[in-house]
């Protein structure tokens, strides 16, 4: 048998091709078993597509009856707006802690956590939201929760204490501190993603133009990687086959391609001005990239060059660019459960954009609060959440 390879196929993908070509009754079980994940992490169902369980129609039974809502944290007005995606109208609004940055689904999908980092202060909190009622609960005090992730085994919440250059590992229910990892060379630590096997985490260091690779089980930094030309790295998302980490660079206006295991840069894809957020399509064939219109940290309403670029995962090329009307500043969000709409905060324009993923048209612009940031669409398909605005697996 002759097998033709391409440079974009990981070892896991090639092994799957060999397995399927050879055939046999054990092909499926072999494909499932060959990625050795960390203890406690759910198995990788499809080694060629780690997003296989996040496609439309695969809502967990635990949240299948949850009423769909979009939760929008507004950093400067210290509140959350709640939008009904069926009517595109705001149906609720409530105060939370100081400077809410992201709304983060928990690993077990039972809670949405608002990360209120109280920027420049010491009274950071987390606000739990019950997705069944859509209402907030009692705040929990934690240090500087700019962002939040969950370990692949579900045993720890990972609080991204940006100003402290530190990751705090906490009990995912009570938020009691379990331990920390200091990353002293990672000023502006904020966004990240885990490897396909769950063994390590790569995060961005926004203020110093580098990345940090962390062994979260050993609680230690494995190394740093400096980006070209003093970049300003933002969001991170791993490719479906687990081979490449896509890293948005606000300054460079595109995404770096990082080989995770070797921890080295292997390419760059130019997108648009102020590249920031990264969201896989529901079928995991494309990556939606938000370009918020400013190549520096911060912006102004109505004067940026905001757009969304669409990268084809197979070719790693931009296949479409969707401009935002009246400039716009698309920032963070996620894809609807059915994959038909991309919901994004317009951070510097005090709006939320609803984009038709089949045409790229902004079908609705919804006014919200002051500086909307990491909104989440809920529920989303998937077995568990690794955090952020819905890094589902």
Phi first, then psi, for residue 313 (nearest 5°) are -60, -35
How far is Cα 257 from Cα 246, in angstroms, rounded to an integer?
Answer: 5
Residues 6+ apart with CB under 8 A from 202: 192, 193, 195, 211, 212, 213, 214, 236, 245, 247, 258, 260, 263
How confident is the model at residue 211, as a pLDDT?
98
How far is Cα 152 from Cα 47, in angstroms, rounded to an integer?
Answer: 16
How confident is the model at residue 22, as a pLDDT?
36
Both tokens of 244, joined, read 């490449």
How confident is the model at residue 15, as a pLDDT?
44
For 109: left if phi > 0, alpha if psi spans -120 to 50, otherwise beta; the answer is left
In tens digits, the chain (393 residues) has pLDDT values of 323 333 344 444 444 443 333 333 333 333 445 899 999 999 999 999 999 999 999 999 999 999 999 999 999 999 999 999 999 999 999 999 999 999 999 999 999 999 999 998 999 999 999 999 999 999 999 999 999 999 999 999 999 999 999 999 999 999 999 999 999 999 999 999 999 999 999 999 999 999 999 999 999 999 999 999 999 999 999 999 999 999 999 999 999 999 999 999 999 999 999 999 999 999 999 999 999 998 888 877 777 789 999 999 999 999 999 999 888 999 999 999 999 999 999 999 999 999 999 999 999 999 999 999 999 999 999 999 999 999 999
How confident is the model at residue 139, as a pLDDT?
97
Torsion of CA 179, 185, 186, 188, to 10 degrees: 110
286-297 b/e (C-beta count within 10 Å ≥ 16 → b): bbbbbbbbbbee
Rounded to two decimals, the pTM is: 0.91
How confident is the model at residue 12, as a pLDDT?
44
């Amino acid at each position: 048998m002759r097998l033709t390879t391409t440079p974009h196929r990981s070892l896991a993908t090639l092994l799957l091709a060999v397995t399927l070509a050879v055939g046999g009754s054990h092909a499926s079980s072999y494909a499932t078993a060959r990625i050795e994940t960390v203890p406690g992490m759910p198995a990788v169902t499809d080694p060629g597509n780690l997003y296989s369980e996040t496609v439309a129609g695969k809502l967990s039974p635990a949240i299948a009856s949850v009423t769909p809502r979009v939760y929008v944290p507004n950093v400067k007005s210290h509140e959350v707006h709640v939008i009904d995606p069926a009517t595109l109208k705001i149906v609720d609004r409530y105060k939370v802690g100081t400077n809410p940055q992201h709304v983060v689904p928990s690993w077990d999908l039972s809670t949405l956590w608002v990360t209120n980092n109280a920027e420049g202060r010491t009274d950071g909190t987390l606000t739990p939201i019950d997705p069944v009622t859509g209402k907030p609960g009692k705040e929990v005090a934690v240090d500087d929760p700019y962002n939040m992730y969950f370990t692949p085994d579900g045993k720890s919440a990972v609080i991204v204490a940006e100003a402290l250059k530190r990751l705090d590992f906490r009990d995912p229910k009570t938020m009691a501190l379990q331990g920390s990892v200091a990353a002293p060379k990672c000023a502006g630590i904020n966004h990240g993603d885990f490897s396909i096997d769950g063994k390590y985490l790569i995060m961005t260091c926004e203020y110093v133009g580098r990345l940090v690779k962390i062994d979260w089980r050993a609680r230690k930094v494995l190394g740093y990687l400096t980006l070209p030309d003093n970049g300003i790295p933002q969001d991170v998302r791993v490719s479906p086959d687990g081979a490449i980490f896509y890293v948005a660079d606000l300054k460079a206006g595109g995404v770096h391609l990082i080989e995770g295991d070797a921890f080295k840069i292997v390419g760059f894809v130019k997108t648009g001005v102020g590249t920031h957020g990264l969201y896989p399509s529901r079928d995991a064939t494309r990556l939606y990239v938000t370009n918020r219109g400013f190549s520096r940290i911060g912006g102004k309403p109505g004067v940026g060059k905001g757009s969304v670029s669409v990268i084809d995962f197979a070719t790693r090329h931009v296949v479409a660019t969707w401009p935002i009307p009246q400039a716009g500043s698309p920032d963070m969000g996620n894809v609807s459960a059915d994959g038909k709409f991309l919901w994004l905060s317009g951070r510097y324009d005090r709006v939320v954009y609803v984009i038709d993923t089949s045409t790229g048209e902004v079908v609705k612009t919804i006014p919200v609060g002051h500086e909307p940031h990491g909104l989440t669409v809920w529920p989303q398909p998937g077995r568990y959440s690794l955090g952020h605005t819905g890094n589902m697996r």
